[in-house]
Amino acid sequence: MRLFIAINFNEEVKDYLSEVQSIVKASSRKGRYTRYDNFHLTLRFLGELTQIEADEVCDILTAFKEKVEPFSIKIGDINSFQKKEKHIVYVDVVKNKEKLITLAKKLNTMIDQSFSFRKTYSFKPHITIGREIMFYQVSSLDKIIPFHKEILVNEVSLMLSSRNQNNVLTYTPIYTVNLNE
C-alpha cells in the first residue's frame, strides 16, 4: 500500500483551491492538475507499507493525537517550484506555519522511532495545485487572493494513494484521528 499522512480539507477550502486551479489553468499551456477530491496538505509521505506497518502507523497516530492541540492556519500565497519551463504550483500556508511545522516534526519523530526510512524527510507545508505546469504568463498568479477564513487543523489522516480501473489517482483516508480528543 502506498501511504502518506495528511490534513484533509472541507468543501469550502476545496472550492477555493479549485478556483485557484482554474486561474492557473487559464494561464497555462498544459499541466497535470490535482483532482478536487485529492486536495490535501501532506505531513509525511511514507511510501509502500505492508498492512502490519500500516497498523503500526495507526497506533502512532492514536498516540500522536494526545500530544497536539487543534489550531488554525490560513492559506493564500501562490508559489511554484520551477524546473526548466515547468512549474509545480502550490498554495502556501500564511498563518501559523510554524505550528504546522512543529506538528509535523512531532509526528515525524514518532514515525522515525518506529520506522527506518532511507532518506530524511524535509517538511515544507503546501497544497499542490498542479505539476508540470507550462505557463503563458506566470504574472497571472498575482490576481489570486488569499482564502478569507482560517482553517481549523483538528484531525490528521493516514491516506491511501491508489489508481482506480481508469488509472485515475485517488487519495482515500483509511484512518483518521481527532487531535487531543
- pLDDT one-digit tens code per residue, 137-175: 666 667 777 788 999 999 999 999 999 888 899 999 999
Q: Which residues contact 59 (CB under 8 A, 6 or more apart)?
A: none
**CATH architecture of the domain formed by 2-178:** Alpha-Beta Complex (3.90)
Residue 138's pLDDT is what? 65
d(CA 131, CA 110): 30
In 9-102, the DSSP E strands lie at 28-33, 40-48, 71-83, 86-95
Coil/strand/helix, residue 58: helix
Q: Which parts of the chain register pLDDT below 50?
A: none
Quick one: pLDDT at residue 76?
A: 85
Residue 139: per-residue pLDDT: 64
Hey, is 22 helix, strand or coil? Answer: helix
